[in-house]
Amino acid sequence: MLKLYDDRDSGNGYKVRLLLHLLEMPYELVEVDAIRGETRKPPFLAKNPNGRIPLLELEDGSFLPESNAILFYLAEGTRYLPDDRLERARALQWMFFEQYSHEPYIAVLRFWKRHTDKTPETELQWRDREKRGYDALAVMERTLAGQDWLLGDAPSIADVSLYAYTHVADQGGFDLAAYSGVRAWIERFPGLKGYAPFGGRLRDHDGRRA
Ligand SMILES: N[C@@H](CCC(=O)N[C@@H](CS)C(=O)NCC(=O)O)C(=O)O
């Protein structure tokens, strides 16, 4: 069975948990406390030298880190990854955007708000992250104002990837009021067959819906 090393509070991990549930793929969850530094201890570093969750262990014992690489692997041959060459590249396009232009701002501000205090020294950094986070939301809005999902008519791993931190962007202080396309897109997710909320159904999944 697939084994997922993950922390319940991680949005990067939630991407993978959400896809596993949407695809109704059974998996065993191994909880790792990232805040307490468990990912930086030798037993975990032996599995992922980059010291981060999520980490997928395949049936043959090989390890795959990086949330978006895991999504790509799991979605192969399913409705969440199109067959068309350009569409597949577009899914990757959005996932690289997520890692470079979205997650470092929207996820990091959420983390800072929950775990640190703003100080006069960090005020400028916070404001810069906020501006760049809104820039990322504006990019998403341009697409989602005109279509239901990032690739068009159907949800894909591009949507799963970007949903994880966008739907909790308010926890980082982001106001989505001006992004009606993004808000409507967020509201579509709970209607997907197999949807699992962030923080919900963290226990091992037996392939049936709870
Ligand atoms: N690019 C990675 C980022 C993973 C990441 O930042 N994981 C965090 C939790 S969200 C982590 O493991 N932090 C613990 C640490 O860095 O020690 C991915 O998308 O999987």
Q: Give me ligand 1 centre to Cα 52, in Å.
A: 4
pLDDT tens per residue across span 60-80: 999 999 999 999 999 999 999
Of 71, 53, 66, residue with least CA distance to 10? 53
d(CA 24, CA 119): 44
**Residue 50 Cα: closest atom of ligand 1:** 16
pLDDT tens per residue across span 93-138: 999 999 999 999 999 999 999 888 878 888 899 999 999 999 999 9
Of 210, 184, 133, 195, residue with least CA distance to 160? 195
Q: Which residues line ligand 1 (CB under 6 A)?
A: 10, 12, 34, 39-40, 51-54, 66-68, 99
Nearest CA residue ID for atom 10, ligand 1 = 10
Of 148, 124, 76, 133, residue with least CA distance to 101? 133
Nearest CA residue ID for atom 1, ligand 1 = 66
**Residue 65 Cα: closest atom of ligand 1:** 20
Q: What is the pTM of this model?
A: 0.94
